[in-house]
Amino acid sequence: MYSMSIDERKKQFTIVVSGFITEEEADAYKKDYIMHAASIDCSDYTLILDGSDMMVSKQSMLDGLKALIQSYVNHGYKEILFVQAKSPSARAQLRRIDILMNNVRLIEVNDV
């Protein structure tokens, strides 16, 4: 499950992802993301990715997540913040995504 919101006053685009993401949800997510990102000047916005309630994903889904994170980087946000997963196994899995570790600032839930 996911939700997306844009706060024009704070210049924040927030995406919350929780639980397991199916391939069908991933496809809908990509379309929603493109629509939201096209409605703002990304270079003026901070992208906040809240994955605090994400669960461990299949390896095939992680490959898709890696490509998605690369698209976030390519959109040129002012800053990209990733709220770390609470699940230790999900945290470990996400830390293996090099594009995430090199281009995104990891924060804890209480830092949002």
- Using one digit for the tens of pLDDT, what is the confidence trace for 56-84? 667 766 777 788 888 899 999 999 998 98
**Which CATH code for domain 2-111?**
3.30.750.24
- Using one digit for the tens of pLDDT, what is the confidence trace for 79-101? 999 898 888 887 777 777 766 66
pTM comes to: 0.86
Range 53-73 burial, b when 16+ CB lie within 10 A, else e: bbbbbeeebeebbeeebeebe
Give CA–CA dist 30/43, Å, rounded. 19
**DSSP code at position 8:** T
In the chain, where are the structural domains located?
2-111
